[in-house]
Amino acid sequence: MSILVNQNTKVIIQGITGHQGTFHAKAMLDFGTKVVGGVTPGKGGSEVHGVPVFDGVRESVEETGANASMVLVPAPFAMDACFEALDAGIELLVLITERIPFHDAMRIMSYAKSKDAHVIGPNTPGIISPGLCKIGIMPSHIFKKGNVGILSRSGTLTYEIVSWITESGLGQSTCMGIGGDPIIGITFIDGMELMEEDDDTEAVVLVGEIGGTAEEDAAEYVPSMKKKVYAYIAGQTAPAEKRMGHAGAIISRGKGTAESKIKAFDKVGVPVASLPSDIPKLITG
């Protein structure tokens, strides 16, 4: 089992004919993901790596039975692309695009909720369950099938931690980037709930960072879980009121400090790694 995606997930890529779209379509196909179609308005009828391209999402869903979409559309057009996908009945949106205006993100999330659809991101590397499905832009080769579930607000830092986990001999059940933006779809808690129910996951790693209260909220949820949770928090030495690369990574009006997050995890007995490379050591004890 896995969360949100599996070997039967049928994926379309919105923005498949772009540089990123073409590259990651190939990488996902190589991984074994069922990429059944792509959408680029005006490019319908063409193909990318043997995958049919459609002008619109509804058409692609009708032709292929797709139930998930990866959105690689530039920020100014991302809201429209998401609305189109949700309107066509897509159940899972993986929104890779970064720098989406916050008001647009709020509208996307609200519409998704009204359609009972899930959104991963925006500003996420995606989701991967080794051996089953990858919808995203992560480097497949660093992952290995295993029992550690990972939920993260960042990209490269996640890869760093994943590679340490893989090198230690452990592997991953599902690794999901929840997104580095302030307005996101699936939260840490949503991911934790799913991983608690997932037979393949034995331990959950949360990779958090400064800004917002997602980690504090996650810590409050921990006592209701049977599975062991571990954490890493980036930005312990970040200054206040400065956006540290991610739109969501900002200590604002005294809120969102690493200190507060680490304290919240300490309180519920979640071990917090001081180095990314310490995560596997914490898990194996």
Partner 1 sequence: MKLFEFKAKELLSKYGMPVPKGVVASTANIVKDFPYPAAIKAQVLAGGRGKAGGIKFANSFDEAKGAFDQIIGMNIKGYEVKQVLVEEKLDIAKELYLSFTIDRRVGTTLLMASTEGGVDIESVPDEKIFKAHMSPLIGLQPFIIRNLTKALELTKEEGKKLGQIVRVLYNAYEKEDAELAEINPLVLTEEGNFVAGDAKITLDDNALYRHPEYKDMDRNLDPLEIEAKKKGIAFVKLDGDIGVIANGAGLTMATLDVLNAKGGKGGVFLDLGGTDDPQRVKEAFYLMEMAKPSVILLNIFGGITKCDTVALGVKEALEEKKMDIPVVARIKGLHEKEAKEILKDAGMIPANTISEAAEEVVRVRGA
* Binding status of residue 237 toward partner 1 by CB under 8 A: yes
Q: Which is nearer to partner 1, 8 or 114 (CB)?
A: 114
User: What is the closest distance, in whole angstroms, from the C-beta atom of residue 28 to partner 1 in the complex?
Assistant: 12
* Binding status of residue 30 toward partner 1 by CB under 8 A: no
Q: Which is nearer to partner 1, 3 or 247 (CB)?
A: 247
- Nearest alpha-carbon partner for 161 in 247, 231, 255, 62: 231
* Cross-strand bridge partners of residue 234: 209
Selected from 213, 220, 228, 268, the binder of partner 1 by CB under 8 A is 213
* Binding status of residue 266 toward partner 1 by CB under 8 A: no
Q: How far apart (Å, rounded) are the C-alpha atoms in residues 282 and 256? A: 25
Q: How many residues bind partner 1 (CB under 8 A)?
A: 61
The residue type found at 201 is T
Q: Which residues of 151-177 are buried (b: 16+ CB within 10 A; e: fewer)?
A: bbbbbeebbbbbbbbbebebbbbbbbb
- DSSP helix/strand/coil, 31: helix
| Structural contact between residues 185 and 211, judged by C-beta atoms closer than 8 angstroms | no
Going from the C-alpha of 25 to that of each of 86, 144, 196, the distances in angstroms are: 21, 20, 31
Selected from 128, 229, 238, 262, the binder of partner 1 by CB under 8 A is 238
* Binding status of residue 155 toward partner 1 by CB under 8 A: yes
Q: Which is nearer to partner 1, 276 or 280 (CB)?
A: 276
* Binding status of residue 135 toward partner 1 by CB under 8 A: no
Binding-site ranges for partner 1 (CB under 8 A): 27, 75-76, 99-107, 109-111, 114, 137-139, 142, 152-160, 163, 180, 182-184, 207, 209-210, 212-214, 217, 232, 234-239, 242-249, 253, 274-277
